[in-house]
Structure 1
């Protein structure tokens, strides 16, 4: 064979091999319509299961509330009866100061403005001989402060005045001066008593002399009966003078000027705002005070309202994340334009000063426990529950790849789970229950 012929055969053979390889490769890249459909079709659905768990379930209402001080009020002294301009002369408190009962919260024209707890305002000055519900309120207050007003009733007596005097002395001020007219009547009554006592003394001496001496020559004997009558008259006049003096003394007892006391519903309280400073003239409210205790006010809808009750315990979350206990102390339908739902008043438990300051003016998270399983129970996601033909509740349990329907009794439902107890069949922790299939997006559970 010639060299040229051999070269030709090699070229033809090489070309055939290359063509064969290309054909085989192309065959692997060609897809029939049936194969294409099979490759793009969705996979067969498979059940999505989750294990039965042992867990404690807690049903609760969670809301938010605004923290405010209880019972904010304006303090407005009654200064209309003062003879001089009502100038603030001292004792001006700082914002945040605590006001206690029986203490001076301001000084006006050198006199204290004393804070007392009571519902009735100080609408008039009080003095011995007066009566009324405001007198009774005063005497109850004095007794609460450890002062003795005598019998607690609606009569302002000398004992009431003595207790008022002690109230002022306790905080370092002179007691209010008696009414000038009453003091003048008392002075006159004291003079009358002195004169009556002198008259009794003279009558007694005259009677004693009549019994111990004999009449001189030419003198008529003394009429002892007349002298005894004179002594009796003198003693009666003394008794009358003493009675008048006692009445005058009662009327001249320590009064309580309206300008020196202010009543607020409860004490102690916190100073929120001060509207005056030393040297200012009082014209209206001098400060705003609020209860030293804090309250949380939350608004809930009808569904949550049905679950709540007064005296229920709650948990309040401080801005720091710390939890403090509280109690529902009031529930009322929300009022005001555009108001809806129900307003729930919550009183925190005992707070440290730091906790109180952290809470004041905040909007906080409040959790109200409603019901608990009080321990671990068998629980499944709510999505695992299905209804049977007779209305019974079931779960579908996968056992070795085979589905089994188990009838259950449902207990507490909370936090997306339900407490379950097997009625027909068995159910245990770790059993896999169906919550959906692979074609559904259940949002919970895992594909086993």
Structure 2
């Protein structure tokens, strides 16, 4: 039986569809079929390529950077020796406020109506001083008086009349009457004055008697009268010497309770432990240095790179950089404290920095202007220990020997050695 035209068209369509499907399957299968060599080549990792960076022209600066705490330098407790007082040690005035400044030669307190004058010195005031006193405490007093502009005469270990006069000027400048000598010493001066007057009167009488004897008839023997004059002159000389000694001893003294020595002045009052009307018993106040300092903790390795006198800076927090200097380094083992002192601060800055924590920078070394630099990762060592860098030129790596200078912030100063060349912009290998 012969198929109809419509049936023949269905068969042709079906055959075409099967052919098309077979072709697609074949192409897909063919795209997945490859030789083992081609498969290995396609799945292998890409060839390694060098990671390079350019040689840069820049200035380098090596520095120590850390955080530091501010404080007022050298806190001390101030005590007043009141054992020499004849009355209770009652505070009667001049009580300082916290934050005020103690000045050399000025009263820092009043006890029993008398000043307690602050003076710079290391020896404490352990006894009263007066004309005739001798010792290292007298030397310290005279040295201090001289520095303050009060001439004590020869600066030595002896309390002289010149020392008394200088002490008088010290009290005058502080706004107080000078201390009075002991009443017995005043009485001794009065008695010596009377003795001198009596000796002068006796000498006058002896001279009158001698004159009368010489005016008598004939050649009178005046041996007795002359002896009386000689004795009277000798007595007067002794009386004058005794008066001078009494006046010397009655010179201006320095009571033990009216001076306090502090290692250095001026200083800032940190705490006041007395009040007006109260009685002094032990420490009257604590004071620190009037100058602010910043202390930075460093390890032993860093400490070896630092020394007193080196410049430093610190940031007060508003972008202002304060210049400073290392004043001392203390500590032991693996922890040290580097103390730096600012060159100058305004009153506002001083107040802002009280008990603050600031960023401190201490420069160690710096290049003289811009130099050729490479990252530290670009440096390698040759078999002889010399340094070198790998430079990528025209697709090839060239070893360039270099001399290494200052290293800072991950970079090193380099200079090509021998006939080698190295220039800004050259690409150095830092990894692969």
Category of TM-score, reference length = shorter chain: 0.7 to 0.9
Following TM superposition, by how much is the alpha carbon of 1:15 offset from its aligned partner in structure 2, in angstroms?
Answer: 9.7
SS at match of 2:283: coil
Q: From 377, 389, 398, give the equivalent of 1:395.
A: 389
Partner of 1:93: 96
Partner of 1:242: 240
Aligned pairs, how many? 426
TM-score (norm: length of structure 2): 0.87
Partner of 1:106: 109
Following TM superposition, by how much is the alpha carbon of 1:233 offset from its aligned partner in structure 2, in angstroms?
Answer: 2.1
Give, in whole Å, the separation in 2 of the partners of 1:295 and 1:85. Answer: 39
Give, in whole Å, the separation in 1 of the partners of 2:261 and 2:78. Answer: 8
Aligned pairs for 1:186-197 within 5 A? 186-197=189-200
Following TM superposition, by how much is the alpha carbon of 1:209 offset from its aligned partner in structure 2, in angstroms?
Answer: 5.0
Give, in whole Å, the separation in 2 of the partners of 1:311 and 1:124. Answer: 39
Deviates more, 1:320-329 or 1:8-17: 8-17
Unaligned runs of 5+ in 1: 438-448
Q: From 350, 363, 366, give the equivalent of 1:372.
A: 366
Give, in whole Å, the separation in 2 of the partners of 1:68 and 1:6. Answer: 109
SS at match of 1:286: strand
Q: Does 1:361 align with 2:359?
A: no
Distance 1:292 1:7, change over 3 A: farther
Deviations 1:225-277 (A, max 9, x none): 43333233222211111111111111111111110000011111111111111
Distance 1:7 1:176, change over 3 A: farther
Deviates more, 1:24-33 or 1:342-351: 24-33
Distance 1:392 1:211, change over 3 A: closer
Distance 1:71 1:210, change over 3 A: same
Contact 1:319 1:358 in 2 (8 A): no
Partner of 1:444: none
Give, in whole Å, the separation in 1 of the partners of 2:136 and 2:229. Answer: 46
Partner of 1:419: 413
Following TM superposition, by how much is the alpha carbon of 1:381 offset from its aligned partner in structure 2, in angstroms?
Answer: 0.7
SS at match of 1:13: helix
Q: From 147, 150, 167, give the equivalent of 1:147.
A: 150
CA RMSD of aligned residues (A): 3.1
Contact 1:48 1:436 in 2 (8 A): yes
Distance 1:330 1:5, change over 3 A: same
Deviates more, 1:167-176 or 1:354-363: 354-363
Distance 1:25 1:283, change over 3 A: farther
Give, in whole Å, the separation in 2 of the partners of 1:197 and 1:8. Answer: 176
Q: Does 1:60 align with 2:63?
A: yes
Unaligned runs of 5+ in 2: none
Partner of 1:157: 160
Distance 1:390 1:128, change over 3 A: closer
Give, in whole Å, the separation in 2 of the partners of 1:76 and 1:346. Answer: 29
Give, in whole Å, the separation in 1 of the partners of 2:284 and 2:15. Answer: 112
Give, in whole Å, the separation in 1 of the partners of 2:212 and 2:381. Answer: 122
Contact 1:319 1:359 in 2 (8 A): no
Partner of 1:9: 9
Q: Does 1:258 align with 2:247?
A: no
Contact 1:139 1:153 in 2 (8 A): yes
Deviates more, 1:229-238 or 1:101-110: 229-238
Q: From 400, 406, 424, give the equivalent of 1:429.
A: 424
Contact 2:104 2:119 in 1 (8 A): yes
Aligned pairs for 1:304-315 within 5 A? 304-315=302-313
Aligned pairs for 1:161-240 within 5 A? 161-208=164-211, 224-240=222-238
Q: Does 1:134 align with 2:132?
A: no
Contact 2:300 2:334 in 1 (8 A): no
TM-score (norm: length of structure 1): 0.85
Q: From 316, 319, 339, give the equivalent of 1:318.
A: 316
Partner of 1:73: 76
